[in-house]
Amino acid sequence: MSRSFAAPLDAVDQVQRSADGITATKRIVATDPYLEGHYPGFPIYPGVFTLESVYQAARQAVQAGRGPHVRVELAAVRSVRFKAPLLPGDVLTVDCRLTDDPDDRGRVRAVADCRRGDGTASAKVTLELRVLRETTGA
DSSP 27-53: E--TT-GGGTTSSTTS----HHHHHHH
pLDDT at 82: 98
For residue 66, CA distances in Å to 72, 105, 124 come to 10, 11, 25
For residue 71, being part of any structural domain is answered with yes
- Condensed to tens digits (0 to 9), the pLDDT of residues 41-60 reads 889 999 999 999 999 999 99
Domain extent at residue 98: 14-133
- Condensed to tens digits (0 to 9), the pLDDT of residues 119-132 reads 999 999 999 999 99
For residue 2, being part of any structural domain is answered with no
Q: Which residues pair with 121 in a beta bridge?
A: 115
Active-site entry in 23, 32, 38, 70: 38
Read off the CATH number of the domain in which 55 is found. Answer: 3.10.129.10
Query: Does 103 score more than 90 pLDDT?
Result: no
Domain count for the chain: 1
For the segment 93-121, the average pLDDT, to the nearest whole number, is 94
69 is catalytic: no
Confidence class for position 3, pLDDT limits 50, 70, 90: very low
Query: Does 6 score more than 60 pLDDT?
Result: no
